[in-house]
Structure 1
Amino acid sequence: MRLGNIIGRSAKMQEVFESIIRAASSDFSIVIYGETGTGKELVSKAIHELSQRNEAPFVPVNCGAIPEELFESEFFGHKKGSFTGAHADKTGFLDQAKGGTIFLDEIGELTQTSQVKLLRALGSGEYTAIGSAQPTKAQFRVIAATNADLEHMAQTGRFRQDLFFRIHVIPVYLPPLRERKEDIPHLAEHILNKLGYSTKISSKDLAILLEYDWPGNVRELYNILERYMAFGNLDFLQVGIKETGVLVPPFVDDELGQTTKGLRDTMMALEKKILISALEQNGWNRSRTAKALDLPRKTLFRKMQKLGITQKTSL
């Protein structure tokens, strides 16, 4: 099944499609939850395209890239001469989204001060450009996205509760790729077709794709398939452990190169070797190791249990 550019036949993706359709039929604020690379912007675009605002602009904003001191200028705009360097009028994101949708990606990265300013605009229904005396009526729908637990952040004071309640009207949850691996064959075929690759992926290479855990999700799958087109196979693909999707380059040593283990055992052996090395470098402190590997602590603990790693384990 396909909805816009979103592909999935799994039960979890059918639930996502239903959530998209329900969200598009209303005009309430939405928060999309999902790990990096799960397609949060694609989902937000699908909601916009299916909504009554689809003929108006869709304006994506990376909240993590907006410095606090530039928030008002970027979001509300400014008038020529309103401050040093303001050589011309600037149209802010909210004006650009007039009548349409503003997509606030990684909204949890906004500073507390910026959150207050955004809340004031959403709560009052108007905002004022820097250097202007005339307020502008807010005429847009908010779709926010985050890879964090926004509710927990609000409960612990890292995100304003009043802003959370303002935007968290309709939540949409996106599953990670590792929880919907049955979609990988269809995704791979779609991506390769999009990239202009006419040769069908082999059953051997498809098995490798299905074995991998995909910490970078669909975005990583896209990157891997680009490399697949260049190499003609997936021999370069080894177990990745960083959530950023950076893969560990293949190497051969006495332990791995002289073995006749199958692909699965080889991958597990390599992952175990990497984890033990990282743990030893961090004095077997699990919190520091998880941070160094850019992994959630729970994920590190799960991998250690799966691979039988204890402090007595050595390389």
Structure 2
Amino acid sequence: MTAIQGRVLVVDDDSAIRTVVAAALKREGHSVTTAASAAEMARELARGIPDVLVTDVVLPDGNGLDLVAGLTESHPDLPVIVFSAQNTLATAVRATEVGAFDYLPKPFDLNVLTQAVRSAIARGRRAPAVLSEAEAGGGLIGRSPAMQEVYRVIARVVANDLTVLISGESGTGKELVASAIHDLGPRRRAPFVALNMAAIPRELIEAELFGHERGAFTGAATRVAGKFEQAAGGTLFLDEIGDMPMDAQTRLLRVLQSGEFTTVGGARTIRADVRIVAATNKDLGALVQSGQFREDLFYRLNVVPIALPALRERRQDVPLLARHFLDRAAEAGLPRKQLDGDAIAVLENFDWPGNVRELENLMRRIAALSRDAWIDAATLRSALGEGAGAQSAPRDAGIEAAVRARLERIAIEEPQALDNGTLYDRVIGEVERPLIEAMLARHQHNQLRAARALGINRNTLRKRLDTLGIDLGNRSEGAE
């Protein structure tokens, strides 16, 4: 197929980048003009409008994104491709907001750039997105190539209502992506409602999704609105969609097809005015093949796929994330901590089976328990265990099963506890108490020895005993 050729203006203050980009585009058959500043770009545009403008964000005499915003009005048919070393979600979203045809983070693949130029010439300029003027980011942090691709996809979908399916291991930040899509889109002033399929008993999922009428089943004393009604006008985030029972999948599919639903026990048809964002840590394609997930529902959900990388696949983001979590811990009132170079190396070499969530919990724990302002490698290795810097040991299946069982019981007896922000401290407290009691018993209630075995100091152990209400009577604290 013959490549579509055109006139391209390349703007960057780095002469090496201008030379390399111009050479790559000329090999494609394009006519290329270059400029080193906003002023030179303006002069070139005055001489004639190219088919495509390729520009850096940071120019010596202006901001490329501000210039693109002006070009949207003065040259509405000119497609603009923006590249930048400011590799954040905010930059990607801002580029889309001002009407850029595409955004490429530096360093970029020349093949990706040449393909973007071909697409711009072939399809013409894409309509600008209508996005929030508020600070973009949504809590997503990372400058690795893998996260840059995530940012690009988010920037392209925020302005429309396409269904998004986010995949990734547990702890990678799937709900943060869903929140960013909502917060940066036109539905941002309406509710963002999340429902975790794995945390809801099978028999209650339909009532949770669609609501129920009074008397619909035993215990239904009043009418209760479901998540579809609660999210009206906004976004409904269906987390762990791979755990959805088959009968509930069938009903969800009907709602996605028709845009309407009825409550459990109801007859009135209600319009489903929501954007659907789903997430899973499972291979839905494999579940389809095994008959555990409906193929037609999979294709309804997988309109825009976003694959979140595991933390071990973007190790260069670990220091940035770790410092961010320590800053958040300090903002929450915990002592401010900093990481030395050796400590950062330990973090980068760890495999993080729990991904970003595990890193966040570790930084929070260190901020709370470490006595030193500077965190060194030894402190981190102690906190991580003997597996630091190597493949982590597999989780104990019995402990994992016990935690899951406890969560299921809480979901049945106190469903509000799953959403009120206290679950982490509650479950950790329930695990911490028997652990401390067991270690005290093992060391004949000698607090010094028990603290050493736990890897904490005696003062910290005393505080935890007081907080947890563990009474040792007159038993020995231990001394050396």
Same fold (TM over 0.5): yes
Question: Residue 467 of structure 2 aligns with which residue?
Answer: none
Letter of the structure 1 residue corresponding to residue 219 of structure 2: G
Q: Matches of 2:321 and 2:395 in 1, distance apart? A: 20
Q: Matches of 1:155 and 1:234 in 2, distance apart? A: 43
Whether the 8 Å contact between 1:38 and 1:174 is mirrored in structure 2 is yes
Q: Matches of 2:242 and 2:274 in 1, distance apart? A: 20
Moved over 6 A (4+): none
Question: Which of 190, 203, 206 matches 2:344?
Answer: 206
Q: Matches of 1:104 and 1:39 in 2, distance apart? A: 14
Q: Matches of 1:54 and 1:121 in 2, distance apart? A: 22
Task: Give the RMSD, CA atoms, in angstroms.
Answer: 1.8
Q: Matches of 2:208 and 2:285 in 1, distance apart? A: 26
Q: Matches of 2:287 and 2:239 in 1, distance apart? A: 16
Question: Residue 241 of structure 1 aligns with which residue?
Answer: 393
Q: Matches of 1:186 and 1:15 in 2, distance apart? A: 18
Greater radius of gyration (CA): 2
**What is the CA-CA distance between 1:83 and the residue it aligns to?**
2.5
> 1:227-260 CA distances to partner (integer Å, 9 max, x unpaired)?
222135213123132369x9xxxxxxxxxxxxxx
Q: Matches of 1:29 and 1:222 in 2, distance apart? A: 29
Q: Matches of 1:119 and 1:66 in 2, distance apart? A: 19
Question: Residue 220 of structure 1 aligns with which residue?
Answer: 358
Whether the 8 Å contact between 1:215 and 1:241 is mirrored in structure 2 is no
Question: Which of 151, 154, 158 matches 1:17?
Answer: 151
After superposition, residues 27-46 of structure 1 pair within 5 angstroms as: 27-46=161-180
Question: Residue 286 of structure 2 aligns with which residue?
Answer: 152
> 1:104-159 CA distances to partner (integer Å, 9 max, x unpaired)?
00100011111111111211211111232211011101100011111222233221
> 1:59-102 CA distances to partner (integer Å, 9 max, x unpaired)?
00001122222122111111222332111110101101111110
Deviates more, 1:234-243 or 1:155-164: 234-243
**What is the CA-CA distance between 1:26 and the residue it aligns to?**
2.0
Question: Which of 195, 200, 217 matches 2:329?
Answer: 195
Question: Residue 256 of structure 1 aligns with which residue?
Answer: none
Question: Which of 51, 59, 70 matches 2:185?
Answer: 51
Question: Residue 142 of structure 1 aligns with which residue?
Answer: 276
What secondary structure sits across from 1:235 in the alignment? helix
Deviates more, 1:226-235 or 1:53-62: 226-235
Counterpart check, 1:165 vs 2:299: yes
Question: Residue 237 of structure 2 aligns with which residue?
Answer: 103
Question: Residue 68 of structure 1 aligns with which residue?
Answer: 202
What secondary structure sits across from 2:208 in the alignment? helix
Q: Matches of 1:243 and 1:60 in 2, distance apart? A: 27
Letter of the structure 2 residue corresponding to residue 234 of structure 1: L
Decide whether aligned partners of structure 1 residues 146 and 243 sit closer, same or farther in structure 2, where only a CA change above 3 A counts: farther
Identity of aligned residues (%): 47
Q: Matches of 2:282 and 2:206 in 1, distance apart? A: 24
Question: Residue 123 of structure 1 aligns with which residue?
Answer: 257
> 1:192-249 CA distances to partner (integer Å, 9 max, x unpaired)?
00000433211121111111111110000011112222135213123132369x9xxx
Q: Matches of 1:36 and 1:22 in 2, distance apart? A: 25
Q: Matches of 2:351 and 2:381 in 1, distance apart? A: 16
Question: Residue 290 of structure 1 aligns with which residue?
Answer: none
Letter of the structure 2 residue corresponding to residue 221 of structure 1: L
Q: Matches of 1:243 and 1:171 in 2, distance apart? A: 29
Letter of the structure 2 residue corresponding to residue 130 of structure 1: V
Question: Residue 298 of structure 1 aligns with which residue?
Answer: none
Decide whether aligned partners of structure 1 residues 118 and 45 sit closer, same or farther in structure 2, where only a CA change above 3 A counts: same
Whether the 8 Å contact between 2:284 and 2:293 is mirrored in structure 1 is yes
What secondary structure sits across from 1:12 in the alignment? helix
What secondary structure sits across from 1:195 in the alignment? helix
**What is the CA-CA distance between 1:55 and the residue it aligns to?**
0.8
Q: Matches of 1:110 and 1:235 in 2, distance apart? A: 39
By relative contact order (CA 8 Å, sep 6+), the higher-ranking structure is: 1
What secondary structure sits across from 2:347 in the alignment? helix
Q: Matches of 1:176 and 1:130 in 2, distance apart? A: 39
Question: Residue 285 of structure 1 aligns with which residue?
Answer: none
Counterpart check, 1:88 vs 2:222: yes
Q: Matches of 1:70 and 1:199 in 2, distance apart? A: 44
What secondary structure sits across from 1:242 in the alignment? coil
Give the TM-score normalised by the residue count of structure 2.
0.49
Q: Matches of 1:66 and 1:128 in 2, distance apart? A: 20
Deviates more, 1:234-243 or 1:83-92: 234-243
Whether the 8 Å contact between 1:68 and 1:113 is mirrored in structure 2 is no
Decide whether aligned partners of structure 1 residues 243 and 4 sit closer, same or farther in structure 2, where only a CA change above 3 A counts: farther
What secondary structure sits across from 2:324 in the alignment? helix
Q: Matches of 2:155 and 2:257 in 1, distance apart? A: 26
Give the TM-score normalised by the residue count of structure 1.
0.74
